Amino acid sequence: MKTSDNDIRKIEELEDGSSVYEIGELQKEQPATTSFYDNLADKFPEDGMKKLSRYLLESIDEDIESRKDWMESVEKVKQYLGFSLEDLKNVPFKLVGLTL
């Protein structure tokens, strides 16, 4: 693709005398009818949402699989130490150390 003089536009003149140019076809700007608080999911393409959800679900499965050995060893340690989270349910003053 050859660049013509029409594809080069001066964008800004800097204080030191240099200039900033933009090269390429002029991009049509979309009207700024959006607000900062707009729901991005409404504007996100359907196929993009499918790709994103597939990626996230695969990543979650990979994460669970990668820490499988670690979780098994944690369960063994809890058994050997005689410790479980269920044991802490009936402990007096159980909320004392919690930060609210």
Structure confidence by residue, pLDDT tens digits, 1-57: 455 666 778 888 888 888 888 877 776 666 667 788 888 888 888 888 899 999 999
The pLDDT of residue 79 is 79
| Structure-token match 């959006």, residue found | 34
Residues 6+ apart with CB under 8 A from 3: 23, 24
The Cα–Cα gap between 20 and 10 comes to 6
Judge whether residue 88 has pLDDT over 60.
no
Residues 6+ apart with CB under 8 A from 49: 41
Sign, CA dihedral 46-48-51-57, equals negative
The pLDDT of residue 87 is 56
CB-hemisphere CA count at 13 Å for 73?
4
The Cα–Cα gap between 53 and 59 comes to 10
In this predicted model, what pLDDT tens digit does every residue of 50-82 receive, in sequence order?
A: 999 999 999 999 999 999 999 999 888 887 887
The pLDDT of residue 69 is 93
The pLDDT of residue 56 is 93
pLDDT, average across residues 76-90: 70
